[in-house]
Amino acid sequence: MKIALIGIGDIARKAYLPILSRTPEMELILCGRKEELVKLVAEEFKINQIVIDYKKLKDMNIDAVMIHTTSQSHFEIAHYFLNIGIAVFVDKPAAMLYSEYENLHNIAEKKSTPLFIGFNRRYSPLWSKYLNSERIQDFQWKKIDTNILRHQEILSLMI
């Protein structure tokens, strides 16, 4: 399986790359904006292929992408790959607005393309309470330094 990791920040380097790089059936491609950093991380994890522009990945016969970029870029990148029929794993939040989540979901269904949102608090009772709220479509992700949940906003719960 050929997977491209887009964004090589802490979550990619600490959680995903140590496992994926030791999985023999995985062929990895690293993609990031800073070429020197991408080269260093590729060397550290013994990955042979790197790309700076994520749009070049479409011509590399990849099976899936894992998106670990800044939260604000998740929707754009996930939207791009779903539209061309490439499976997407994206860290939460996949989008900043509910309507964007719906858009990603609709594209994934229309194209029969897998879409998975990585959320390390998926089974938290607090998250479940808000997931079942009648007004969930009005919620928005806001990244701040505290872990407080307010009406109309779901704040980043990742510590």
Instruction: Inform me whether the pLDDT recorded for 103 exceeds 50.
Output: yes
Q: Which residues, at least 6 apart from 109, have a Cβ–Cβ distance to it below 8 Å?
A: none
CATH number of the domain encompassing residue 54: 3.40.50.720
Predicted local distance difference test score (pLDDT) of residue 11 = 85
How many domains, in total, are found in the chain? 1
The DSSP line for the chain is -EEEEE--SHHIIIIIHHHHTT-TT-EEEEE-S-HHHHHHHHHHTT--EEESSGGGGGGTT-SEEEE-S-GGGHHHHHHHHHHTT-EEEEESPS-SBHHHHHHHHHHHHHHT--EEEE-TTTT-HHHHHHHT-TTGGG-BEE--SS---BTTBEE----
pTM over 0.85: no
Classify residue 76: in a domain, yes or no: yes
Please report whether residue 36 resides in a domain: yes
- Structural domain for 79, as ranges: 2-120
Mean pLDDT of 12-37: 93
Quick check: is 142 in a domain?
A: no
The answer to whether position 125 is within a domain reads no
Q: Where residue 26 falls among pLDDT bands split at 50, 70, 90?
A: very high
Q: Answer yes or no: is 130 within a domain.
A: no
Residue 119's pLDDT is: 75
Mean pLDDT of 61-83: 96
* Structure-block tokens of residue 31: 């993609």
